[in-house]
């Protein structure tokens, strides 16, 4: 991180998103930081639309149970 800063490259730490809204927030933030606000907003809009479609398709389906185990190594 220090070496990268020395050559003038800004670094950004983004924690792992916990939910869909966190993902959208990070896309918006990165769009602002990189001067790509319009592209970020379009992507967010597409993602929201697709999520809405998926929710409608699954609205009468039983919940799917998922187990995820991440290895810290």
Local structure of 53: helix, strand or coil: helix
CB 20 within 8 A of CB 51: yes
Q: Count other C-beta atoms under 10 Å from residue 26's C-beta.
A: 16
Minimal CA–CA distance to 47: which of 72, 18, 25?
25
Cα 43 from Cα 49, distance rounded (Å): 10
Q: pLDDT tens digits for the chain (73 residues)?
A: 678 888 888 888 899 999 999 999 999 999 999 999 999 999 999 999 999 999 999 999 998 899 988 887 6
For the whole model, what pTM was predicted?
Answer: 0.77
Cα-based angle 44, 49, 54 (whole degrees, multiple of 5): 125
């Amino acid at each position: 991180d220090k070496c990268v800063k020395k050559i003038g490259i800004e670094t950004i730490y983004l924690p792992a998103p916990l939910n869909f809204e966190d993902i959208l927030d990070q896309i918006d933030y990165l769009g602002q930081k990189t001067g790509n606000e319009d592209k970020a907003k379009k992507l967010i809009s597409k993602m929201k639309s697709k999520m809405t479609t998926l929710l409608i398709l699954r609205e009468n389906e039983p919940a799917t149970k998922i187990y995820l185990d991440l290895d810290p190594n």
